[in-house]
Amino acid sequence: MTALPLVESKGRRRAAPTDLWSHALWLTGTGVFAFIYLPLLVVILYAFHDANIVAWPFHPFTLRWFGTLVHDRGMVDAAGASLKLALLATGLALAVGVPGAFVLDRFEFPGKAAFERLVLLPLILPGVITGVALLTFFSFVGLSLSSGFPLVPGWPVVLGHGAALTSVVVTQVYARLRRFDRVLEEASLDLYASAWQTFWYVTLPVIRPAVLGSALLVFTLSLDEIAVTFFLVGRQNTIPLQIWGLLRRGITPEVNAAATVVFAVSVVVIVIWARLLREDR
């Protein structure tokens, strides 16, 4: 007898208010989702705006701003520089970050904790601090911001991106290595492979999705980087800085067109990254 009312009250209590809360939750969630996406949609929409000033009402639809973009010398140069920078930064971050992840996973040495913190610092710190720190350093060692131009957009900005984004490769690859079952390496050694063959034929292929994924992330982050770039850039602007410059003269649909292109490239890269990760599960 005593058990029955308890069970009943449990059931009753659940029924009515649940729905109300549920509805409120769904409503809030949808609202937040809209808050995240609406501004981006506005930017993209106004890239197809058939008027010279970005203002209400929206005039549909033209592709001419993308044409303007293609013929904008400054923008094209910036795009070239950004691509070159992103590729170089990705290469550097991989070359250092993959060994870095192995060092964290498999080496014990004094100062390892400090090394770990230091690698991660650029991810956690506001970009301004990393930017000015690198600026003081390069200026002290006398490396000119335009050095290497036009071969590269400037060594300081290349090295700066590489240094700041190494952390991305390290975290991604380290996370994968921690899931890696080292018995696979023993199996390979047992099957007559040398240590080097084991690394090449077993370890590297297994962590390859994480390595590629981190490369994609570094690439988009470099394309989009503004704080560190702001301090280290030499004569040649990158895409974000070029957009930044245009913004100061007022918002034109051309800026939106540029933003839309950058946005589209980033989304594609991120989607590939997400697929890589899912396959790796």
When asked if residue 79 is in the footprint of another protein (CB under 8 A), the reply is: no
When asked if residue 100 is in the footprint of another protein (CB under 8 A), the reply is: yes
158-187: which residues touch another protein (CB under 8 A)? 159-160, 162-163, 165-172, 174-175, 178, 181, 183-184, 186-187
The DSSP code sequence of 107-131 is: ---TTHHHHHHHHHHHHHS-HHHHH
Indicate which single residue of 57, 60, 110, 142 sits in contact with another protein (rule: CB under 8 A).
57
Q: Which is nearer to another protein, 203 or 236 (CB)?
A: 203
Q: Which is nearer to another protein, 87 or 206 (CB)?
A: 206
Cβ atoms of 254 and 69 within 8 Å: the answer is yes
When asked if residue 20 is in the footprint of another protein (CB under 8 A), the reply is: no
256-275: which residues touch another protein (CB under 8 A)? 256, 259, 262-263, 266-267, 270-271, 274
Contacts of 258-266 with CB under 8 Å at 24 or more apart are 258/69, 258/75, 259/43, 259/44, 259/47, 260/43, 260/44, 260/47, 261/66, 261/69, 262/223, 262/224, 263/40, 263/43, 263/44, 265/220, 265/223, 266/220, 266/223, 266/224
State the nearest-atom distance from the C-beta of 141 to another protein, in Å: 9
Indicate which single residue of 84, 91, 115, 149 sits in contact with another protein (rule: CB under 8 A).
115
When asked if residue 66 is in the footprint of another protein (CB under 8 A), the reply is: no
Residues making up the chain, counted from first to last = 281
228-257: which residues touch another protein (CB under 8 A)? 230-231, 240, 243-244, 247, 251, 255-256
DSSP state of 48: G
